[in-house]
Every structure is written in C-alpha cells, then in structure tokens.
Amino acid sequence: MGNTTVQIELDVPTTLSDITLGQYQKYIKVVDENEGQDADNFLNKKLIEIFCNVDLNQVEGIPLVEAEKVITVVSKAFEEKPKLVRHFNLRGVEMGFIPKLDDISLGEYIDLENTISDWQKIHEAMSVLYRVVNFKSKDKYTIAPYKPNEDIKMMMKEMPMDAVMSSMVFFYDLGKELSRATLSYMEAEVKKGKTSPLKETLEQSGVGINQFTDLLKEMSSSLTKLPKNHFTSV
C-alpha cells in the first residue's frame, strides 16, 4: 500500500496588516500559559494553527521544511516597524485614529489606562484610539465621540496588527516626550495662567504625571511581548 500525501493550503501572513489583533491575542495567551515550559515545538504548531487559520491536526502533517518556512515568514512580519496607521477599514467602515491625543477626555484616559497594558484587553484600548470616521476632507477628519460599547470592543479584535502596533508605539513615544517635558511645560503654563487638556485630565483622574509615567512603563512591558520574542526553531 503506497503512502498518501495530503496537500494543505496555507494562508500565510506576510505583513502585519495580514494578521488580526484577535489572532495575536490567542497566540500570546498560549505563550503565557506555557511560559517556563519546554514547549517550543507546541508553540510552533500553535503559531501555524492560529496565524494560518488551519486545524492543529493538519499542522501535524506539514513537512518540517515547509513548517520552518512558514515560521520564518510570520516572524519577519512581526519585525516590521510600521508608521502610524491613521485609517483602516473594518467590516466596510472606515476607522480613524484619534486626531488630537492632547484633547483626550477623562473617560478615554481612564479606559486606556485600564486596558492598554494588557494584551487580552487591548482591543478595548483600540476602541478608544480608533473610532468611526464621521467627517473627512482631504487630510482632515473627525471621529465619532467615545461611547464604551461591548460590540465595538469585540469588533476591534478584527483590526490589523499594523494599526495596533503603530498606535501603541506612537502613544508610547508621545507619552515619553510628554512625561519629560510636562513639568517645565506646566510651570510655564501656570505662569501664563493657562493649562492643558492633558494636565486637566491627569489631575481630574487623581493620578498625575507620575502615574502617567507608570502607564508608559506598563506599555513598554507590553511591547516587549511581541511574537518575535517567542518564535523558536522547529
């Protein structure tokens, strides 16, 4: 009786835009659950299963050489350093990045603070940073007011990872600049009898710049949990 070769078609993502936030959340959960264990081969199988949308049983039948190629392609996708993605389409609707972070409201800041450092909640943070574009004229646009909505939060799991990563890096870098400049800036503004929306937001939330800096540190920790740190050779 001759051997039967089973052919499997894989949809291998080559860029971050081919990967959804939900897929990464599934993968990082598996990584966290197997942390400290000798689970490299298992994680490689789950990587292919999750990012290529194929059953785990089918993954077992993929030739070793081909599996290594898939892992290499996916890992390279996560080495991208995308510029801020201001717009993307989600279920046929254009989503836009919050135009002015300095005008962030108290409610938006608190929801960001509670979710952006946790990969399993980060779709909720993305629903703060990205919202439906309700007006657009050339490079100018406005987005819908922020209203916490469970359906929208869950829908954000379908957003592309290049938007997720670029917005986190942008927010983190901006935050670092703000935290360095805030004290001198606030002093200057106070002398002028002025204040800033961000300062008011921080004060109203009862946290202040020290806690804002802590949030940035938590974000930095989240950014170090990218898949490329978990990819291993087959």
* pLDDT tens digit sequence for 160-169: 999 999 988 8
- Taking Cα atoms as reference points, which of 141, 137, 114 lies closest to residue 127? 114
Of 6-15, 56-65, 201-210, 225-234, where does the model show the most confidence? Answer: 56-65
pLDDT for 163: 96
What mean pLDDT comes out for the span 191-219? 57
pLDDT-derived band of residue 107, with 50, 70 and 90 as boundaries? confident
Is 204 a residue whose pLDDT tops 60?
A: no
| 3-class state of residue 12 by DSSP | coil
Longest dimension (CA), the chain: 89
* pLDDT tens digit sequence for 114-161: 898 889 999 999 999 999 999 999 889 999 999 999 999 999 999 999
Read off the amino acid at residue 164. Answer: V
Give the torsion sign (CA, 94, 97, 103, 106). positive
**Average pLDDT of the residues of the chain:** 81
pLDDT-derived band of residue 219, with 50, 70 and 90 as boundaries? low
pLDDT-derived band of residue 48, with 50, 70 and 90 as boundaries? very high
Residues 6+ away with beta carbon under 8 Å from 35: none
What are the sequence ranges of the domains in the chain? Answer: 16-80, 87-223
pLDDT for 109: 83
Helix (H) or strand (E) holding 77: helix 64-77
pLDDT for 118: 87
pLDDT for 172: 75
| 3-class state of residue 142 by DSSP | strand
pLDDT for 210: 54
What mean pLDDT comes out for the span 58-82? 90
pTM, full prediction: 0.79
